[in-house]
Amino acid sequence: MKLIILDRDGVINHDSDQFIKSPEEWKPIRGSLEAIARLNQWGYRVIVATNQSGVGRGLFDMDTLNAINEKMIKAVAQAGGRIDAVFCCTHTGADQCTCRKPEPGMIHEIAARYNVSLAGVPAVGDSLRDLLAAAAAGAQPMLVLTGKGLKTADDPALPIGTLIFPDLAAVAAHITT
């Protein structure tokens, strides 16, 4: 089985320092929906792994988070693609859980659910915590320069071997050619 793990905010949709708190605030990055469709056409299962501490902070509730994710799933479907699953950590940093990126727990949970080895599995993010979680889990970290990506690219803690792309469309093109 071919699997790819994507962060949500800053990779698929535009990010906000104030959090994406409603379906109306969720806006796709140009080319990201079509990139997911292309990955599906090449046989990839697309899994989203996202920290959503806005729930833990009380900025929005689970119903709202589900509505945001449903909007994303429908938008991807309208572009001819599919998201196979969405994994979310709703804890805050103070909770010190093992599923909140940069901890690899959420990525390990995906591997267990799909019964796959993470070796070589692309894990795409725009922040250092996405890439650290991927590397710690044994996946292939891929940085996109959308969202927080430009800032992240200059971080000296960037995992060795991280591949860097302008956006999700460039990742999809690289993987499927």
Name the helix (H) or strand (E) containing 141: strand 140-144
Q: Spell out the residues 6+ positions from residue 14 whose beta carbon is closer than 8 angstroms to its own.
A: 27, 28, 29, 147
Question: Catalytic pick from 9, 126, 130, 167?
Answer: 9
Find the catalytic residue in 7, 15, 130, 167.
7
Of 168, 120, 124, which is closest to residue 142 (Cα–Cα)? 124
Distance of CA 99 to the CA centre of its chain: 14
* Helices within 15-127 (DSSP H only): 32-41, 53-56, 62-78, 105-114
In angstroms, the CA 166 to CA 111 distance is 27
| Calpha distance 87→99 (Å, rounded) | 10
Distance of CA 125 to the CA centre of its chain: 6
The SS3 assignment for 71 reads helix
In the residue annotation, 95 being an active-site residue is answered as no
Going by C-alpha positions, the residue among 108, 110, 105 that lies closest to residue 45 is 110
Residue 63 annotated among the catalytic residues of the structure: no
The residues annotated with a catalytic role in the active site are: 7, 9
